[in-house]
Chains A and B, each alone.
Chain A
Amino acid sequence: MAIRARKSKDDYGSIYKGHEGQWSWMLHRITGVAVILFLFAHIVDTSLMGWGPEAYNRVTAAYENPIIRLLELGLVAAVLYHGLNGLKITLIDFFPRLVKNITTVSFIFTGLFIAVMIPVAWIMLVQTWDLLQLDQVTVGG
């Protein structure tokens, strides 16, 4: 009977046996798809400028909604993440020796993302809150 070594948690890795960068790879892909899907809609709504104020204002009024505002915050986060992570990819592609310090590089870019997102999230959540108050005033008469 063969003696099997007990596998430690590290032998299994996370959800699938990926490598360093698997999560940023996945987030890069998801945020990229999210941004291009919104871009399709955004080109159409902005193009309504060519059909005059009534058309443009009627359609963009749909964005005046607290739930849409939270999605908007997600969009800003997606653009920011995709952009910064893309810069990281480009940096390592053009300077491959940086790969020795990949952990440090990733740490810096993640830190930068969080540092920018904190004030952005604060400002946009205050806007959402204000909109919510305004809605209640309107609904309450």
Chain B
Amino acid sequence: MTTTAPRPTVPTTHGQPQRDHRIGRERPLGGFELWMWLFMRISGIVLVLLAIGHVLIMHLPAGGVSRIDFNFVAVRWDNPAWRVWDWMLLSLALVHGINGLRNITLDYVRRAGLRFAINMIFYTLGFALFVLGTVVVFTFDPSSWPTVS
């Protein structure tokens, strides 16, 4: 009768002790990846305030998005604080989101060329939208449009 090997007390993979799987993505050892790891967490904390705040302010009171039209946004952007809020939300969410897409690409796309191509599409799109949003949020001038009260 054969005896079965005793169950290892510390889970191992190929002889190496496994890391605690209950902790999320492994922290990179250093360099760019470590800075991005840190950026995701810091920007995430700020985005909880900016994005959840934005969603609760714009979607819930006074009929939600039904009240939002050109005049609403024009009056809102009369206050520079909202322009700063919107621009911070734009830039932090874009970098946070594009880096998230990059992480997903690194997880699922194995071929180096394809990986590079997909990430380049994300970076280009992200940069273009960043420029578009930045120009509009800072150059918008309500006096160019006669219908604004």
Which residue of B22, B41, B90 is within 8 Å of A43 (Cβ)? B90
A70 sits at the interface (CB 8 A): no
Which residue of B52, B60, B97, B144 is within 8 Å of A32 (Cβ)? B97
Bound CA–CA A131/B67 (angstroms):
12
Known contacts A43-B129, A49-B70, A53-B70; is-contact A20 B97 (Cβ 8 Å): no
Instruction: Annotate A18-35 by CB proximity to B: 1 below 8 A, 0 otherwise.
Output: 011100010001001101
Q: How many A-B residue pairs have CB under 8 A?
A: 125
A135 sits at the interface (CB 8 A): no
| Contact between chains at B145 and A36 (CB < 8 Å) | no
Bound CA–CA A32/B68 (angstroms):
25
| Contact between chains at B68 and A39 (CB < 8 Å) | no
| Contact between chains at A36 and B100 (CB < 8 Å) | yes
A67 sits at the interface (CB 8 A): no
- Which residues of B, 81-97, contact A by the 8 Å Cβ criterion? 86, 90, 93-94, 97
Q: Min CB distance, B138 to chain A, in Å?
A: 10
| Prevailing SS type, chain B contact patch | helix
B contact residues, range: 35 or more
Bound CA–CA A92/B125 (angstroms):
32
A140 sits at the interface (CB 8 A): no
Known contacts A43-B132, A57-B70; is-contact A25 B94 (Cβ 8 Å): no
Bound CA–CA A86/B71 (angstroms):
35
Known contacts A79-B52, A86-B48, A131-B66; is-contact A52 B145 (Cβ 8 Å): yes
Q: Min CB distance, A85 to chain B, in Å?
A: 10
Write out the residue numbers on chain B whose beta carbons fall within 8 Å of the beta carbon of A19.
21-22
Write out the residue numbers on chain A whose beta carbons fall within 8 Å of the beta carbon of B120.
none
Q: Min CB distance, B121 to chain A, in Å?
A: 12
Task: Identify the closest chain B residue to A88 (Cβ).
Answer: B24
Task: Identify the closest chain A residue to B4 (Cβ).
Answer: A5
- Which residues of A, 3-54, contact B by the 8 Å Cβ criterion? 19-21, 25, 29, 32-33, 35-36, 39-40, 43-44, 46-47, 49-50, 52-53
A: residues with CB less than 8 A from B are: 2, 19-21, 25, 29, 32-33, 35-36, 39-40, 43-44, 46-47, 49-50, 52-53, 56-57, 60, 63-64, 72, 75-76, 79-80, 83-84, 86-87, 89-90, 92-94, 96, 99, 102, 120, 123-124, 127, 130-131
Q: Which 3 A-B pairs have the closest CB atoms?
A: A36-B97, A53-B70, A50-B136
List, sorted by A's number, 22 A–B pairs whose CB atoms are closer than 8 Å.
A33-B100, A36-B93, A49-B140, A50-B135, A50-B136, A52-B70, A63-B65, A72-B64, A76-B55, A79-B55, A80-B55, A84-B48, A86-B44, A87-B44, A92-B23, A93-B23, A93-B24, A93-B41, A123-B60, A123-B64, A124-B64, A127-B66
